[in-house]
Structure 1
Amino acid sequence: MAKKPFASSADLDEKKQTLEVLADGVYALTAEGDPNIGAIEAEDFLICFEALATPTAARAWLARLREHTDKPIRYLVLSHYHAVRVLGASAFDADIVIAHEKTRALIAERGEQDWKSEFERMPRLAKDASSVPGLTWPTQTFADRVTIDLGGDRGELVLEHLGRGHTEGDIVAWLPRQRILFAGDLVEAEAALYTGDAFHRDWAGPTLDRVAALGADMLVGGRGPVTRGRAAVDAAIEQTRHFLRVMLQEVGAVHARGGTLKEAFEAAHAALADRYGHWPIFEHCLPFDVSRLWDELSGIERPVIWTAERDREIWDLLQD
């Protein structure tokens, strides 16, 4: 049996990007399982959500957004620290780059390693990698919740940390008036989960409970199509929870009986592949997912830093 190409290194085909107007002044760009990105118009400024992997990639998104609005960008909101979400930030020329305080700490602790790791895992997303001027640093951080008044009759945008999940510092962007939620990677719709820096039990339990309690009628997840309608939103949240619970059950059983990491990976793969194996980045993510969960079950509270070298070691051990 031929060895699988490393992570997404062989996924070099361009994905079709779709810009959708979700409500008056609310935009999302999806791309067949590539990272999603969005924007919200206030009365006299813009708030952008996520930054893509490079300034070159971000400028292509901004050119499409400028077909709809020429308002200046006051805020760039980063849902978490991963390189493919943040390293395009310089293209936005935002007045304020806002993120959770733990996201800033994670950038300081492991941003350089994550940059090298993710660009090797997903080279297609790193368009014109040399255009990245350096790490992206938030200029404003918060611990729990920040509200931005959108002016006029547009309501407000609520940025909130709902608990540990995909990372320690995930935040969501919630529009209560429009009932639209930008969930970042806390929820994926028809795309596999990356949990290599996750807190699986928190995420599958109280964090997703809080996401569901918002009662969104429309949801933009980290990857996958926009989800419309309360029932579909609830289903996307529960699909995310199911993926996590299956991992916890399968990896946990192998760990409890004194099995090996390789056996845990094989058990999780067998349990998840029929339902999720055809979704974007499933094969890419699962070795890193299982490795992190194994560490968590072994009492390693915070995720071990992923480096390009560690990525290859885990891949070679599990995904052969």
Structure 2
Amino acid sequence: MSTKAFASHADLEEKKVSFVQLSPNAYAYTAEGDPNTGVIVGDDAVMVIDTQATPVMAQDVVRRIREVTDKPIKYVVMSHYHAVRVLGASGYQPEHIIASRDTYDLIVERGEQDKASEIGRFPRLFRAVESVPPGLTWPTMTFEGRMSVWLGDLEVQLLQLGRGHTKGDTVAWLPEQRILFSGDLVEFDATPYAGDAYFKDWPQTLDNIAKLEPVALVPGRGAALTTPNQVREGLAGTRAFISDVYAAVQAGVKAGKDLNAVYRDVYAKLKPRYGHWVIFDHCMPFDVTRCYDEATQYPDPRIWTAERDQQMWAALEG
């Protein structure tokens, strides 16, 4: 087996950015499978959902926002704690950074290690990493379960619909327009990263999203889903991937196989169906390792460090 370049080190191609309007208030900043950013333009202020990885990269989002409004960018929402989603926050100079209490707790517990791990994995996604201020991105407001933010007369509901990609996952929901910003709970034509996931819970969380009946959805990666049919496809694809990984790993564990053997089996099984999805090769070692942990002895995700990343990669892909 040839040694694969570590994580996303072989992924060097710049991606084309799209800025798509979904309603009078909602926009999707997407880049061919790179991490997305959501934008909500209210009556008196702008909310940004997920920030890009560095303040320099955030400037491109700000530029697009300024093409459609001069209202102040007051709120940044963290859909979860991952560095690639939050380290650009200072680039918006927001009044408030909002996250779930669970996300705050994860930053306390593992924010530093996660930051070092992610920057090591994704060199292209942390363009101008030197522009990230020292330390971590801390919420200025937290909530449990649900919270409404009013941008004038426009209500944005921040909801925790269950654990999935992380235990702190938050979606932003425009109830009047039925538009949802899912963070990495939903991906489209992009492989879900599940290294910090709850495989048992994730499908139910996706069902809880489906119950809202969104007419449009901005996934964590991939193109904006602009029709109810596309939304259903995005939910079904993400659910199928998570369920398939979990079923294949469980089968291997029941057969008494070790992580290496399980990884080879699961990779071979899923490659034909999902191998063309963005970052498939990057995600699979992390996803199968976490799933194996969950199926054996670790109900909660173990902390990834730069060192653990490299050891895992050498063990599974070396």
With the shorter chain as reference, the TM-score category is over 0.9
Residue 35 of structure 2 corresponds to which residue in structure 1?
35
- Per-residue CA shift, 1:193-242, capped at 9, x if unaligned? 100000001002x2111111110011110000011221221121111111
Distance 1:38 1:14 in 2: 20
| Paired residue type of 2:43 | E
The reply on whether 1:215 has 2:213 as its aligned counterpart is: yes
| TM-score (normalizing by structure 2) | 0.97
1:254 and 2:252 are equivalent in the alignment? yes
Corresponding residue to 1:310 among 308, 311, 314 = 308
- TM-fit CA distance, 1:132: 0.8
Q: Following TM superposition, where does structure 1 have runs of at least 4 consecutive aligned residues deviating by more than 4 angstroms?
A: none
- The one-letter code sitting in structure 2 at the alignment partner of 1:37 is T
* Contact residue 37 and residue 49 of structure 2 kept, 8 A: yes
Equivalent residue for 2:136?
Answer: 135
**1:45-194 matches, cutoff 5 A:** 45-133=45-133, 134-152=135-153, 155-194=154-193
Q: Which residue of 1 aligns with 2:241?
A: 243
Displacement of 1:290 after TM fit?
Answer: 0.5
Q: 1:319: Cα distance to partner?
A: 2.0
Tell me what 2:196 maps to: 197
CA RMSD of aligned residues (A): 1.0
Instruction: Name the amino acid aligned to 1:150.
Output: L
- Tell me the amino acid that sits aligned with residue 147 of structure 1: S
Q: List per-residue Cα deviations over 1:167-196 (Å, max 9, x = no partner).
A: 010000011111111000000011001000
SS at match of 2:187: coil
Which SS does the other structure have where 1:201 is aligned? coil
| Identical positions, percent | 50
- Offset of 1:107 from its aligned partner? 0.7
Read off the aligned partner of 2:114 and give its amino acid letter: D
Can you list the C-alpha shifts for 1:26-64, whole angstroms capped at 9, x where unaligned?
A: 111100100000110111111111111111111121112
Counterpart residue identity of residue 192, structure 1: T
Structure 2 CA distance, aligned partners of 1:14 and 1:117?
Answer: 22
The one-letter code of the counterpart of 1:183 is S
The secondary structure found in structure 2 opposite 1:283 is helix
**Structure 1 residue ranges without an equivalent (≥5):** none
The question of whether the paired residues in 1 share the 8 Å contact of 2:160 and 2:170 is answered with yes
**2:117/2:305 contact within 8 Å kept:** yes
Measure how far apart 1:25 and its partner are: 2.5
Give the Cα separation in 2 of the matches to 1:151 and 1:116.
39
TM-fit CA distance, 1:99 = 0.4
Instruction: Read off the aligned partner of 2:293 and give its amino acid letter.
Output: D
Question: What's the CA shift for 1:281?
Answer: 0.5
Does the CA-based 8 Å contact 2:162-2:201 persist in structure 1?
A: yes
- Cα deviation for residue 2 of structure 1 reads 3.0
Alignment TM-score, normalising by the size of structure 1? 0.97
Asked if the contact 2:75–2:98 (Cα under 8 Å) also holds between the matched residues in 1, the reply is yes
Q: What is the one-letter code of the residue matched to 2:139? A: P
Alpha-carbon distance in 1 for matches of 2:229, 2:32? 22
- 2:113 alignment partner AA: Q
Cross-structure match for 2:264: 266
Q: Secondary structure at the match of 1:84?
A: helix
How far did 1:92 drift?
1.0
1:182 & 1:12 partners in 2: Cα distance? 27
Specify the SS of the correspondent of 2:261.
helix
Unmatched 5+ stretches in structure 2:
none
CA shift digits 1:124-175 (9 cap, x unpaired): 01111111112000010011001122334xx411100011110010000011
Structure 2: distance between partners of 1:165 and 1:293: 12
2:234 corresponds to which letter in structure 1? A
